């Protein structure tokens, strides 16, 4: 397996609070990797550090064996795309303009016909070409998430990072988004790294799951290896049963364990 993305010794602090501590990970080509963990465990911070939206205190991140820390931001944007949880909507753009923005790292100061063609192609692939002229802010949560994924696809990168893409969606749209991602990863050999809260969604659609707690990985591997009662107890402080159905583990929460002060 070739390492598409690797993170070594990564440290990050907000003021004096350490969020990521000597973090290691390596991800291969064409995988869906889910990062799960309780609130404040550093999932989103990790994702933002990988894309250098946040600048880590120390450590090494490489994509295609090139160091991200030394890269020009535009160069990073050609290799890694980022799908935020939602977009700022002060001045709404049309869906087409939103997707076209993803071409920014590839173009000179003005767009070309080839870039517009690419945007249409991505819209078509996700089945949202009919929304092209709708204002982004008028769309439902599920549609907005698809547009943000379309924008990341237009960026034409080998790695896509997603920050809780299913958090605001109903169950149909959650499945829709996760299936789209898995199909893209399979067909186009993209690597998707997803910070996600829903353990069952993560288990069903991921090739690998990393469980994080307090800035460190506690368990990592195939969903059925990671999703165990012991791990859930250690990471989340809950009691849960894990059942296998349809070849996939799923978590039945039973109760929480009384919290201990550190």
Residues that bind other proteins (CB under 8 A): 48, 51-53, 73-78, 80-82, 84, 87-94, 96-98, 101-102, 104-105, 107, 109-111, 120, 123-124, 129-130, 132-133, 135, 137-138, 151, 155
Residue whose CB is less far from other proteins, 2 or 133: 133
Q: Based on CB atoms, which residue is closest to other proteins, 86 or 228?
A: 86
The minimum distance between CB 130 and other proteins, in angstroms, equals: 6
Q: Considering the complex, state which of residue 28 and residue 111 has its C-beta at the smaller distance from other proteins.
A: 111
DSSP secondary structure string, the chain? --EEEEEEEEEEEETTEEEEEEEEEEEETT-EEEEE--TTSSHHHHHHHHTTSS--SEEEEEETTEESTTS-HHHHHHHEEEE-SS---SS--BHHHHHHHTTGGGS-SS--HHHHHHHHHHHHHTT-GGGTTSBGGGS-HHHHHHHHHHHHHHT--SEEEEESTTTTS-HHHHHHHHHHHHHHHHHH--EEEEE-S-HHHHHHH-SEEEEEETTEEEEEESHHHH--HHHHHHHH-EEEEEEEETTEEEEEEEEEPPPP--
Nearer to other proteins, 106 or 216 (CB): 106
Q: How far is the CB of 153 from other proteins (least distance, A)?
A: 13
- In the complex, minimum distance from the CB of residue 37 to other proteins, in angstroms, rounded to a whole number: 20
Q: Minimum distance between the CB of residue 89 and other proteins, rounded to whole angstroms? A: 5
């Amino acid at each position: 397996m070739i390492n598409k993305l690797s993170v070594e010794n990564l440290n990050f602090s907000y003021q004096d609070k350490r969020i990521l501590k000597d973090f290691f990970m390596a991800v291969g080509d064409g995988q869906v990797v889910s990062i799960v963990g309780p609130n404040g465990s550093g999932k989103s911070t990790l994702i933002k550090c990988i894309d250098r939206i946040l600048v880590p205190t120390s450590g090494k991140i490489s994509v295609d064996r090139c160091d991200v820390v030394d890269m020009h931001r535009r160069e990073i944007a050609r290799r890694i795309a980022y799908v935020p949880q939602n977009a700022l909507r002060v001045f709404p753009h049309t869906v087409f303009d939103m997707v076209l923005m993803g071409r920014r790292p590839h173009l000179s100061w003005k767009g070309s016909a080839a870039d517009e063609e690419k945007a249409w192609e991505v819209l078509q692939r996700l089945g949202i070409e009919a929304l092209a002229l709708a204002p982004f802010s008028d769309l439902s949560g599920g549609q907005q998430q698809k547009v943000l994924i379309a924008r990341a696809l237009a960026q034409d990168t080998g790695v896509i990072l997603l920050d809780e893409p299913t958090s605001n969606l109903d169950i149909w749209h959650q499945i829709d988004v996760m299936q789209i991602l898995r199909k893209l990863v399979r067909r186009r050999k993209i690597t998707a790294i997803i910070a996600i809260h829903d353990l069952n969604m993560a288990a069903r659609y991921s090739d690998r799951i990393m469980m994080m707690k307090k800035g460190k990985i506690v368990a990592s591997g195939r969903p059925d290896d990671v999703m165990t009662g012991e791990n859930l107890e250690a990471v989340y402080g809950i009691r849960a049963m894990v059942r296998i159905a349809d070849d996939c583990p799923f978590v039945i929460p039973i109760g929480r364990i009384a919290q201990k002060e550190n």
